Amino acid sequence: MLILQATAQGPVRIVAFGDSLTAGYGVLERDSYPSKLEAVLREKGYDVTIVNAGVSGDTTAQALARVDWSVPQGTQAVILEFGANDMLRGVPPATIKHNLEAIIQKLRARHIEVMLAGMYATRSLGKEYYTAFDAIYRDLAHKYGLVFMPFFLDGVVGVRSLNQADGMHPTSAGIDIIVKKSLPSVEALIKRVRSRKAS
C-alpha cells in the first residue's frame, strides 16, 4: 500500500502558473505538465495537489495582471513558467525581468515558495538579446534564493519526435521528459514547504 509522505500535515498545495507549456496546449488535460507531475509525485509517495493555472499565449505582463486571482489563498508553492511568448514578440529583456520580479515579490509577500522555470531565447534574435534574456532567470533565482530549473524545455526543444507539428509545444512524450527533468527541483520545492510548516 502506498503511504503518502506527511499526510497528517495535509497535501502540499502547488499552483503551476504559466503559459501554454504549462496549460498543456495541444494535449489532453491528463497529459498536461501539472497533471503528469502530480501523478508522478504521488507515485513517489508525495501528498500533493497541483492546480493548472496555465493560459496559452500569456506574456509576463498578462501573468502579472492575473497572479492575485490565479494563485488562490492557501497556495503554498508556485511553479513559475513564463517568458517564451515575450521573447517571441521581442519584448525587451528588462521589461520581462521587471514583470517576473514583480510576480515573485507578490508571491513572496504571501509567503509562497517559488520554483522558477527558466527559458532560453532563440539565437536568431541576436547575441545582445539572448544574452540579456537568458540571464533573467539565473539572476532572479539568485537574488531571491528561489528553487531554480535553468531550462524548462531541457531535452525537448529541437527534438522533432517530442514536439507537436508547430515545433514549439511538446507532445505527451515531451511532457514526460519535462516532468522527469523537473522532478529534482519540484522535490526541493516541496521540501521547503514542509520545512516551513514544521518550524
Q: Which residues are annotated as catalytic? A: 20, 166, 169
Contacts of 86 (CB under 8 A, 6+ apart): 59, 60, 61, 95, 96, 99
**pLDDT digits over 66-124, tens only?**
999 999 999 999 999 999 999 999 999 999 999 999 999 999 999 999 999 999 999 99
CATH 3.20.20.10 for the 10-194 domain, yes or no: no
- SS3 annotation, 77-120: EEEEECCHHHHHCCCCHHHHHHHHHHHHHHHHHCCCEEEEECCC
**pLDDT digits over 127-171, tens only?**
999 999 999 999 999 999 999 999 999 999 999 999 999 999 999
CB 169 within 8 A of CB 157: no
- Taking 60 as the threshold, does the pLDDT of residue 7 lie above it? no
Residue-averaged pLDDT of the chain: 95
